[in-house]
A and B are shown apart, each in its own frame.
Chain A
């Protein structure tokens, strides 16, 4: 069920601000692709164009093509709400719904889209929580508020919530940056496991993390403040980290700037 993403000539704007410029790349199914680059170079912006979350921001717009297995996400017939069911997202800060229990958080995507039937929901909730490596920790307190969990557990809850709707692609925007090293490892293990079923794109500021979890790495950069972000190069992770083509990539990876 994982799908391939093919981006071509993509530009994104916030009102007058040109945030990312002319990005073309592809993301392979059942693989992990990492986005790295200095802050403000447009990694989050680019990620959010992949499930049409960019346009949720007032005055934000996108030009170009994003093909999901040959279907253009920005086609005139396409419903952004339907796109987001297929391309799920996990955010930087864990954001469980504060009024809902652990169970309801995981079931939210299905319930809010009209799925009923307790036994079916029970099944999906358990499967998703197991998928997010959280089931054993919360199975005795599914009715407690989701906000009562630790930060790492909350983030895994958010991952469970995202995979409960069975997306084909999972986008993660710095999912570990608010977490401690142990929780980070738990999430990285989880990513390795999820990769068997999903196409995963992860933004990270942590080089070691990119090296550990990803198959391919894309390096983004910005020429200067106020300039749009660009894709510098994308290649197999081992290649990017040992023998990048571009000087800028090497400088960034070896910590010479950014």
Chain B
């Protein structure tokens, strides 16, 4: 398309060449198609879990454990597994979130490409690649076999923390890097020391992003099964104390019930899956709400 350079009639402003229109349409169709393809698994998983899980989504499920209930029996519930999952993931987060955020703060605000920062960054990358079973075996060898502690929710939380840490570091690091340098400079120029700048300017600015990153990490860790089988073991009764004795967790409960041949057990597995999804969604929503409520500044 020469731009009317050689004396040809000036191209009109409204007519776009045919080829360009076709290309535009084609790309549009491809984009919609890709979106639909990406949504199919999501919707079908949700649909299957809701359809199969709604049957046992009753009060019993949330108030009873599996104590004294065999795979064939109706009733029973996942109360013990819900308690276990919540306690284990809480312990995991208490360990991994502050450590991860502080590491990210060091890398972005203080490290400035020093050798220590580069080394830490390298090991965070290595940690990202650790398979969950390996983290579980490491804690098994270290905490249970070497130090002689026995099964507990806390042992499981240690392994989960290893898995959660690199995710938190990486996502918090990305969010901190997004904070414009101008804000740090504005704060320094007011005579505010670096640590206060980090606490009161940089972290609040990155807060909602960090919260989403942490929630993703929590969601990922909440579905881990392998390390818990090694370190927390399975039980059908309620154990409120995460520091001693086997505990149940939702993913382990799902694995346990889904492995039984009976419809009653399989129905419980579906409901547990639905519960797990709902817990993660609820946590996500609360976190977002908190991040939003904190945002509008007031006196």
Contacts and interface: CB of A to CB of B under 8 A. Distances in A.
A13 interface: no
A200 B200 CA distance: 28
Contacts of A95: 180, 182-183, 185-186
Interface of B: 112-113, 180, 182-193, 196-197, 200-201, 204-205, 207, 295-299
Interface in A10-26: none
Contacts of B189: 51, 53, 84, 88-89, 91, 162
A84 B191 contact: yes
Interface stretch (A61-69, A97-105, A240-248, A250-258): A97-105
A91 B190 contact: no
A109 B112 CA distance: 25
Interface of A: 51, 53, 56, 58, 81-86, 88-89, 91, 93, 95, 97-101, 103-104, 108-109, 111-113, 118, 142-143, 145, 158, 161-162, 165
B205 A84 contact: no
Counting from the closest, the 3 A-B pairs by CB-CB distance are: A85-B191, A109-B190, A101-B297
A99 to B, nearest CB: 4
A145 B296 contact: yes
Contacts, number: 91
Contacts of B184: 56
Contacts of A113: 190-192, 196
Contacts of B201: 97, 99, 108, 112
B187 A99 contact: no
A175 to B, nearest CB: 13
B106 to A, nearest CB: 15
Contact of A103 (B187, B190, B299): B299
A101 B299 contact: yes
A81 B194 CA distance: 9
Contacts of B193: 81
B207 to A, nearest CB: 8
B297 A85 contact: no
A56 B112 contact: no
A63 B186 CA distance: 24
B297 A108 contact: no
A118 B189 CA distance: 24
A73 B28 CA distance: 60
Contacts of A108: 187, 190, 192, 200-201
A104 B185 CA distance: 17
Contacts of A51: 189
B117 to A, nearest CB: 12
A91 B185 contact: yes
B299 A112 contact: no
B188 A88 contact: no
Q: Which of B187, B189, B201 counts the most chain A CB atoms within 10 A?
A: B189
Contacts of B296: 101, 145
B182 A93 contact: yes
Nearest to A109: B190
A99 B204 contact: yes
